[in-house]
Amino acid sequence: MHNRSLIDLSKYRIAKSAEMLVAAHRDYNDHDYASANNRAYYCIFHAMRAVLALDVEDYKKHSAVIARFTLNYLKTDILPRDYGKLISNASLIRNRSDYEDFYVCPVEDTRRLLEGASDFHSAVKNYLDTRYKEVKK
């Protein structure tokens, strides 16, 4: 794939991440915490896919996206390793909120997840802005 196409795909995915973050905050403010958890997770997920797009990598399974992102970007300290805990926690909360009967995530956990998703999105966006300049060269 041509570099311009990779950048466009990455920008599309980071914009999708931003949309999910806005939706997560809206749902949180509407006291729809299960949906806020889902949207916060997808903010993180689409941000990871935006980074992987520049490496010409994509996966059908969420676990594969998380594993490759962790290997390429967290374990190499390109992005802070602490995001690994956020990603794991977001995945767990999203799965429980979406699929477990009677699961109620504590509101404080949802609030922390939204803060983490917002921080992660900003860090990835800043990283991508740098990468776009490098990829164009």
Write the pLDDT tens digit of every residue in 53-93: 999 999 999 999 999 999 999 999 999 999 999 999 999 99
| pLDDT classification of 137: cutoffs 50, 70, 90 | low
Query: What is the total count of domains within the chain?
Result: 1
Domain harbouring 71, CATH code = 1.20.120.330
Write the pLDDT tens digit of every residue in 116-129: 999 999 999 999 99
Residue 129 domain boundaries: 3-134
pTM of the model: 0.94
Q: Give Cβ neighbours of residue 7 (< 8 Å, ≥ 6 apart).
A: 54, 132, 135, 136
* Burial category of 125 from C-beta neighbours within 10 Å (exposed 0-12, middle 13-18, buried 19 and up): middle
Helices of type H across the chain: 3-29, 33-53, 62-69, 83-99, 107-136
